[in-house]
Amino acid sequence: MTAALIDGKSIAASIRERIAGDAAAFRQRSGVTPHLAAVLVGDDPASAVYVRNKQRGCEQTGMTGSLHRLSADVSQSQLLELIARLNADPDVHGILVQLPLPRHIDDARILDAVDPLKDVDGFHPTNVGLLSQGRPRFIPCTPHGCQVLLREAGIRTAGAHAVVIGRSDIVGKPMASLLLQKGAGGDATVTVCHSRTRDLAAIVREADIVIAAIGRPHFVTADMIRPGATVIDVGINRLGQVLVGDVEFAEVSKVAGAITPVPGGVGPMTIAMLLGNTLRAARLQTGETLETAG
């Protein structure tokens, strides 16, 4: 068996094209250009690449992307002051604080400070709560991208056993919540595994769908995958000069029924979902209802 490749790059390109059309229609009827403000603290090379890709995505879809760079030794109060200014700026519709932040800064304090209506990452407690209740305002971008990949690949989630490896607030927990939701892309039976899970490999082998988001290169091996299962690899790890996922792709692809590559799988989808959230934020802030903001 050779797994079908789930091409996130091409799927994301199609979604960005649709978002570009929607953004153009929104500008025409409102006179407003959606604006994503990214905040980058320090000089981490990977974070800089991620932010640059997000800005490029804004440009490609007819939106504004601005960058606020701060030194690694910026104080927490200074960072909070910047977020307060962005919250108060009517021309800014989405705020993205690139993680990780330096150790002397409390991530939760910063993320909680972002206006929930501008929280396009979906990390504010208000938006997390709305998602858990099945009425999301902004869905966290990476798990949403995974869900859309499953849908676009024709993978049935209803009634399936999905195993999420990883319990982070950014991916693991919201991914489980999305798969549990009623309706399209949900209705799965979900197991969340993590570093303290006993017999993790045995649990993963029971899965119809595996979401690998544990942040360890090549953690998921072929003997952990049930033949024909779908594998979504969220991991982005650098081994020397090479980017690899949390899944040992070469061997797992011989067992799985469908699989995402790294790079070119979940990564482009994350950016596409962020752009969609930015447009949604602009619509909401200009008075469009949640129903029409879609």
Catalytic residue among 22, 54, 119, 246: 54
**Known catalytic residue at 233:** no
Closest to 73 (Cα-Cα) out of 95, 41, 117, 100: 41
**CB 129: neighbour CB atoms within 10 A?**
13
**Known catalytic residue at 54:** yes
**Cα 73 from Cα 92, distance rounded (Å):** 25
Catalytic residue among 22, 55, 98, 115: 98
C-beta separation of 244 from 218 below 8 A: yes
**Cα 103 from Cα 205, distance rounded (Å):** 37
**Cα 266 from Cα 12, distance rounded (Å):** 9
SS (H, E, C) 253-284: CCCCCEECCCCCCHHHHHHHHHHHHHHHHHHH
Helix, strand or coil, per DSSP, at residue 38: strand
Catalytic residue among 22, 115, 119, 121: 121
Backbone angles phi, psi at 293, to 5 degrees: -75, -20
C-beta separation of 175 from 213 below 8 A: yes
How far, in whole angstroms, is CA 111 from its chain's centroid? Answer: 16
How far, in whole angstroms, is CA 275 from its chain's centroid? Answer: 11
**Known catalytic residue at 98:** yes
**Cα 136 from Cα 127, distance rounded (Å):** 7
Active-site residue set: 54, 98, 121
